[in-house]
Amino acid sequence: MANYTEIDDPTAFFQCELWTGNGSARSITLSGNSDLQPDMVWLKQRSGTENHNLYDSIRGAGIRLIPNLNNSESTTNELTAFNSDGFSLADGDEVNKSSSTYVAWNWKAGTSFTNDASSTSIGSIDSAGSFNNTCGFSIVSWTGTGSAGTIKHGLNSTPKMIIVKNRGAGELWLVYHKSLGATKFLRLAGSEAVQTLTSTFNDTEPTSSVFTVGSNEASNRNGYNMIAYCFAEKQGFSKFGSYTGNANADGPYIHLGFKPAFLVIKQSSSERNWIMMDNKRSPFNIVTKYMKGNSDSAEETYNYVDFLSTGFKCRDNDTGANASGGTYIYYAFAENPFVTSTGVSGLAR
């Protein structure tokens, strides 16, 4: 029988969750089919203009990065714990303001690692973090050297997207995406088109064991703590690619091999926002509710795409996702594989 997917239950590794704030300390229990202890939580107030918040288990609960700003990390204690089935929150406005609505996207890594590069001969810069080879996700920390070097990412397959942040300085968020290559990068906290700079990833593609950083202060500033979020592609669970828009309501169809739970689109050929969509805020087609990943703006509504059992299809001519001749990159994670490893077909919306 064909291997249609590597993961029959995507909720074991990625879940989207919604809640309404109550202004008091509380725990959020993820509602997927599987219990998931998240190692990365990216959350945003839907109903207001609080910033995006990103927390991970390597830096520790309570230590926040802001994906829509280039600020250094800060201690907020608004996300107070990563639990076996979710996470705990304080009463802060960014995470739990009374009557405000929120969304969180949650990923599991779960296996710790440390790498002494001189002892293992894997990479040239020491690193540590957490990884999950089943779903292809790792979180990696290291201390910048100011010189080009290689870093063990913990996975046994090549990352297709890497998000890098200097934790201690107001440097750019850098995004490597396989469709753009290692000479280029996108700014996570900006709307700019793809930019070319060899000193970010040293013009070197990642491998199944390491990724490369250059001398740029955003990716490897000497003496500064750095963090990277690495994503490998897994059949039936995650996909990273690009497409060309046609400015037509009968827009391009992009095959993923699964029904999306979470989809992010960014035009790389021009200045556009990062468009973030999911199956919980828009449970039916057309998928209308979205966040701008590079902005603190509240949730907005537009007829961008349909989520299909095998991928997604653009449904409008808006430049955010379907400008004529525009090049777009995307990344997506599954709600259900199109066909499970035992041959059971997924359902359309």
Query: DSSP assignment of 71-119, as one string?
Result: PPPEE--SEEEEETTEEEE-S-HHHH-TT-EEEEEEE---EEEEE-HHH
Would you call 309 helix, strand, or coil by DSSP? coil
Task: Tell me what pLDDT residue 91 has.
Answer: 95
Task: Tell me what pLDDT residue 346 has.
Answer: 60
Q: What residue ranges define each of the domains in the chain, with the CATH number in brackets?
A: 10-107 (no CATH), 111-116+124-232 (2.60.40), 238-337 (no CATH)
The residue-averaged pLDDT of 167-173 equals 97
198 and 209 Cβ atoms separated by less than 8 Å: no
- Quick one: 207 exposed, middle or buried, by C-beta within 10 A (0-12, 13-18, 19+)? middle
Alpha helices, DSSP H, located in the chain: 93-96, 117-120, 198-201, 217-220, 319-322
**With bands split at pLDDT 50, 70 and 90, how would you rate the model's confidence at 1?**
very low
User: Above pLDDT 90, what percent of the chain?
Assistant: 93
Helices (H) and strands (E) in the chain, counts: 5, 27
Query: pLDDT of 231-285, one tens digit each?
Result: 999 999 999 999 999 999 999 999 999 999 999 999 999 999 999 999 999 999 9
Beta strand segments in 252-321, E: 253-255, 258-267, 274-278, 287-292, 300-307, 311-314
Q: DSSP string covering 7-43, please? A: -S-GGGTEEEEEEE--SS-EEEE--SSS----SEEEE
Distance CA 70, CA 289 (A): 25
Task: Tell me what pLDDT residue 337 has.
Answer: 86
**With bands split at pLDDT 50, 70 and 90, how would you rate the model's confidence at 173?**
very high
Q: Is it the case that residue 228 has pLDDT exceeding 90?
A: yes
Task: Tell me what pLDDT residue 4 has.
Answer: 78
Query: pLDDT of 97-124, one tens digit each?
Result: 999 999 999 999 999 999 999 999 999 9
Task: Tell me what pLDDT residue 345 has.
Answer: 59
**With bands split at pLDDT 50, 70 and 90, how would you rate the model's confidence at 88?**
very high
Listed in sequence order, the residues at least 6 apart from 250 whose beta carbon sits closer than 8 Å to its beta carbon are none
Distance CA 210, CA 126 (A): 11
Distance CA 191, CA 274 (A): 7
